[in-house]
Structure 1
């Protein structure tokens, strides 16, 4: 079994018996997709909600919800997945720092979650599990064999969805 590490602003696809893992999900969102018929798994480590936030004209596809999710779907379809058999699970999107006022730009975690949900809705992919929000970091691991997402949350232990 191979564990494929997905870095920040990165994405990847796996088939059994491999697993996909990403660490350091604070305000970032881990988006996992799974086609249970073809047993193809995908993961993206989304850092920001919209590619319009890109600076300097250089775009990192995996960094933004509006580019990472469509690209991850393309990679999965190329690997043999079908979107009609694919479901999504989300983790992360924490509010890591307290702040005063209603400055929306500081709400990166919640904005990331909203943007991921919108991109999945646009792709007609159903979200079947979610562990988002709060103020703790997370590490996630998706098993391509069965689609189980293991979520390790700081000070809260491990759960599977």
Structure 2
């Protein structure tokens, strides 16, 4: 019957990653989503062989501003969140030698001058931390003045990057 849902549609699951949070999975029925990345950075990792991946929504570059907050919510910061993200990816059998990494966000969405340059600092921090881990960034959509929303379909590796003025589809295979 036309318009009837498929079995996979009935069991599909969307996992939403909030600010300062991480989610990983190797369930091909899962779509990982994070909304409204302004100055925050969404770090997407995907292993196309094992169809395992994750998202990390970091808010600030450096945990030294609040050690207490970093202990309670390490994914809020690039420096404490990335090691946790990599451990969790390994836990779902994402091979770090195969993972494709995509970065999005780091925008300046303020109407006036951005004296703190959080988006720019977030971008510099996560790129540096990934390089120190020997991980290569395979794509990015950083800076500018527009927010972004990300959707990663684990079954296919299809990453959708939505901005207010456009939508891009990237295959992380």
Q: Considering the TM-score relative to the shorter chain, is it more than 0.5?
A: yes
List alignment gaps of at least 5 residues for structure 2.
Answer: 1-11
The separation in 1 between residues aligned to 2:57 and 2:80, in whole angstroms, is 12
- TM-score normalised to the size of structure 1? 0.91
The separation in 1 between residues aligned to 2:121 and 2:150, in whole angstroms, is 20
Greater shift in the superposed pair: 71-80 or 91-100: 91-100
Structure 2 counterpart of 1:159, from 143, 165, 168: 168
Cα deviation digits, residues 33-86 of structure 1 (max 9, x gap): 11111111110000000111226x232111001111111110010111211111
Greater Rg by CA: 2
The separation in 2 between residues aligned to 1:96 and 1:121, in whole angstroms, is 27
The separation in 1 between residues aligned to 2:99 and 2:132, in whole angstroms, is 14
The separation in 1 between residues aligned to 2:92 and 2:39, in whole angstroms, is 29
Where do 4+ consecutive residues of structure 1 move more than 4 Å? none
List alignment gaps of at least 5 residues for structure 1.
Answer: none
SS at match of 1:41: strand
Report whether the alignment pairs 1:147 with 2:157: yes
In the other structure, the counterpart of 1:81 is 94
